[in-house]
Structure formats: C-alpha cells, structure tokens
Amino acid sequence: MSAFEHVRIIAAKEIREIVTNKGLAFSGIFFATWFSIMAGLGVADERITGEAQLNNSLFYMGALIGLFVGYIYSGQTYLREKQSGIVETLLCAPVSLRSLWIGKAVGVAVPSTILALLAAAGITLIAGQRLPQFIIPSITVIVHMTIVVPIFVIAAVALMGFAQLMLGMRENMIVNMLTIMLLFGALAMTRLIVEEAEFVTWTAVGALAGASLALLAITWALGGLLSRERIVRTIS
C-alpha cells in the first residue's frame, strides 16, 4: 500500500472520529457559528462600502476560524491519544511515522476548513440581510477562501501536531499556545494591512499564500525529526 493510501485511510479515520464525537464536533461548530454571527453583524460601518467590509472580514475570519477549529480538533487527535496511550498502539502499525502524522493533520484540516467555508457563507448571508442590497465576495476573496485558507490550515495543524508528538505534555501546551498566538498575530497584522488599503488585493492574497506555503515547507522539513522513540519517551 502506498504512502498516499496510508494518509487517506488515516485522514478518513480521524474525520470519522471527529464527526461521531458529538461534544468535539459541537465545540467546533459552536465557535465557527459564533464567529460568523459576530463578523456578519459587524459589517455595517458607513466608513467604507459594505462590499469592502465583507471582503476584509472574510479575508481575516476565514483563516482565523479554520485555525481556531483546527486547534480544538488537533487536541483530540494528537494530545489525547498520547494521554490515553493509544499512540503507542498506532506507532506499532505498519505505516511510516510521517504518513501517520500527515494523515492525522489532513483529518483535522478537512473539517476545520469546511467549517471555515460554511462560516464564510454565514457571514455573507448575515451581512447581506443588514446591507441595502445583497453582495457577494470578490474573486480575490473567493480564491483566498478556497485555496489559501486550506493551505494555511493544514500547515498550522501539521505544525501543532508535530509539537504535540515531539514534546511532553507540559511543553506542548506551552508551545501550542505560543504557535497559536504567533499565527493569530500574523493574521492580525495582515488584517491591518488589508484594512489600511480598504480592499483585498491580489498582493495581499499572494502574500498570505506564500507565507502559508513557506510554513508548510518548514513543517514538512521538521517532520524529518520525528522518531518513534522520542514520541514514546514523551508519553506520561
């Protein structure tokens, strides 16, 4: 069986576990819904056009919601399996450690991205009810949501998963919080730049896409440091 098949099977297993875990699934849906409602209601300022506000909101909130939901789900996928000792059984499976890691990351990123896209649709619908006429996102934002956000989410989830596998229980909580803060900070700076320009440009979308691809490349390179022995030593 190829490495791609291993990743696909592991990802499908993780998606199934997230969907069937009612408490976990609800937590992601709740936060995605909450953020979308708040963002949608916020599109009402008269300083710039409603279309520009909607685009700016989607540009920032799409990646933010995907990141936050991914953070919630990755705790179940990586951390709790270490706490319960399940990861020891998984490490004995006839699959490479990289395939196991990436498969889990894809399994978390898929539902996280889907919720981010649904939240973006919710923001658009809510904003449309509050503005004089219904508006749709610009092509730049649509490309951002359908291409850039998924890349950003998978890179962020894979990075958090790497930390959770490599570090002990206390250390990875600290590192994951720092990772989330840094990524939130980067998104906030991007939002400020976009709001300064008052509309989403291809340059902004390309810059975030480049940063997401760079993060993905760095995370992939870090995967070479994974080892079964190191993971087992961090289980407590």
DSSP per-residue letters across the chain: --HHHHHHHHHHHHHHHHHH-HHHHHHHHHHHHHHHHHHHHHTT-SSS-HHHHHHHHHHHHHHHHHHHHHHHHHIIIIIHHHHHTHHHHHHTSSS-HHHHHHHHHHHHHHHHHHHHHHHHHHHHHHHHHHSSS-----HHHHHIIIIIHHHHHHHHHHHHHHHHHHS-HHHHHHHHHHHHHHHHHHHHHHHHHHHHHTS--HHHHHHHHHHHHHHHHHHHHHGGG--HHHHHHT--
In this model, does residue 138 exceed pLDDT 50?
Answer: yes
Q: What are the extents of the domains in the chain?
A: 3-233
Whole-number pLDDT of residue 203: 85
**Cβ contact 87:235 at 8 Å:** yes
d(C-alpha 51, C-alpha 141), whole Å: 11
The average pLDDT across 110-125 equals 92
Tokens 């953020």, residue located: 35
User: Which of 1-5, 24-28, 216-220 shows the lowest mean pLDDT across its residues?
Assistant: 1-5
Whole-number pLDDT of residue 49: 63
Whole-number pLDDT of residue 187: 66
Residue among 177, 163, 176 nearest 230 (CA): 163
| pLDDT above 70 as % of the chain | 78
Whole-number pLDDT of residue 119: 92
Whole-number pLDDT of residue 173: 67
**Cβ contact 116:73 at 8 Å:** no
Compute the CA torsion angle 201, 203, 205, 210 (nearest 10 deg): 180
**Cβ contact 175:167 at 8 Å:** yes
Whole-number pLDDT of residue 176: 67
d(C-alpha 106, C-alpha 175), whole Å: 21
Whole-number pLDDT of residue 231: 74
In this model, does residue 116 exceed pLDDT 90?
Answer: yes
Top pLDDT among 5 and 108 is at 108
User: Which of 108-122, 176-190, 213-227 shows the lowest mean pLDDT across its residues?
Assistant: 176-190
Q: Taking the model in full, what pTM does it have?
A: 0.84
User: Which of 17-31, 58-72, 87-101, 146-160 shows the lowest mean pLDDT across its residues?
Assistant: 87-101
Whole-number pLDDT of residue 196: 56
Top pLDDT among 2 and 23 is at 23
Mean pLDDT score of the chain? 80
Whole-number pLDDT of residue 118: 94
In this model, does residue 154 exceed pLDDT 90?
Answer: yes
**Cβ contact 151:212 at 8 Å:** yes
In terms of average pLDDT, the best of 63-72, 89-98, 124-133 is 63-72
